[in-house]
Amino acid sequence: MGDPSAETQRTLYPYVTGSSVVALKYKDGILMAADTGGSYGSTLRYKSIERLKPIGKHSLLGASGEISDFQEILRYLDELILYDNMWDDGNSLGPKEVHNYLTRIMYNRRNKFNPLWNSLILGGVKKGQKYLGMVSMIGVNFEDNHVATGLGNHLARPILRDEWHENLTFEEGVQLLEKCMRVLLYRDRSAVNKIQISKITEEGATVFPPFSLKTYWEFSAFKNPTVGAEGSW
């Protein structure tokens, strides 16, 4: 009863976590965005963690949640892609297949009460077919034209539901993602103003260098803080 080695291992809580990832389908493929912060509880401990990674030739993976588990998932996928390449048969795993593999991993870990504490977004293009899917830490998975993890589901997706349409250009897609990331920056406590955007098209994946978003703070109450201060919040 008191022997810890006899008890099955289980992950109880995450330590270093990444915040939301947002992604959408556009004319040429998939666009994905995430900030580069790694929080340690409420402390923003790491400011340069890359949470968007290309997988094989056709896919992009974005993750929020425990970073060590994300790094482990990248190792699993590395092995998967390696074995796929070793067949040397001209075939390569597409985003649909990788998404399915990830779903199986996440669900099976959940069944053992030892989940990988991540929400994953898998997007890609193969033979002109665009694919965008999500897997949660309990193995829930689905596919859609636009997806988000964590708080992004509540803050970004309503914007996307309103403003997304088929055949967005690259510039329109980036603008839309920036709009979503700005809202997340304002309203998500664990967000940091260092954003990365990545795209994947038939030609391949590109992860762009990090940049900062412009934010608005010109409120009249800040310009004249003493005016109406008494009794105000």
Partner 1 sequence: MDFNAPHSMGTTIIGVTYNGGVVLGADSRTSTGVYVANRASDKITQLTDNVYVCRSGSAADSQVVSDYVRYFLHQHTIQLGQPATVKVAANLVRLLSYNNKNFLETGLIVGGWDKYEGGQIYGVPLGGTIVQQPFAIGGSGSSYLYGFFDQAWKGRMTKDE
Radius of gyration of the chain (CA): 20
For the chain, the 3-state helix, strand and coil shares in percent, each to the nearest 5, are 30, 30, 40
Closest by CA position to 112, among listed 7, 210, 228: 7
Comparing CB distances to partner 1, the nearer of 67 and 93 is: 67
In Å, how far are 108, 183, 195 from 154, measured between CA atoms? 27, 11, 19
> Tell me, what DSSP letter sits at residue 145?
S
H/E stretch holding 21: strand 21-25
**Residues catalogued as catalytic:** 11
Comparing CB distances to partner 1, the nearer of 12 and 86 is: 12
In Å, how far are 61, 152, 195, 204, 223 from 144, measured between CA atoms? 15, 15, 23, 21, 44
Token pair for 124: 């890609």
Token pair for 102: 């990830």
Comparing CB distances to partner 1, the nearer of 114 and 153 is: 114
Shortest separation between residue 48's beta carbon and partner 1, angstroms: 8
CB 193 within 8 A of CB 182: no
Comparing CB distances to partner 1, the nearer of 14 and 173 is: 14
Shortest separation between residue 225's beta carbon and partner 1, angstroms: 25
Comparing CB distances to partner 1, the nearer of 65 and 173 is: 65
- State the residues that interact with partner 1 by CB under 8 A: 4, 9-12, 14-16, 38, 40, 43, 45-46, 48-49, 66-68, 71-72
Shortest separation between residue 70's beta carbon and partner 1, angstroms: 8
Shortest separation between residue 60's beta carbon and partner 1, angstroms: 21
Shortest separation between residue 134's beta carbon and partner 1, angstroms: 22
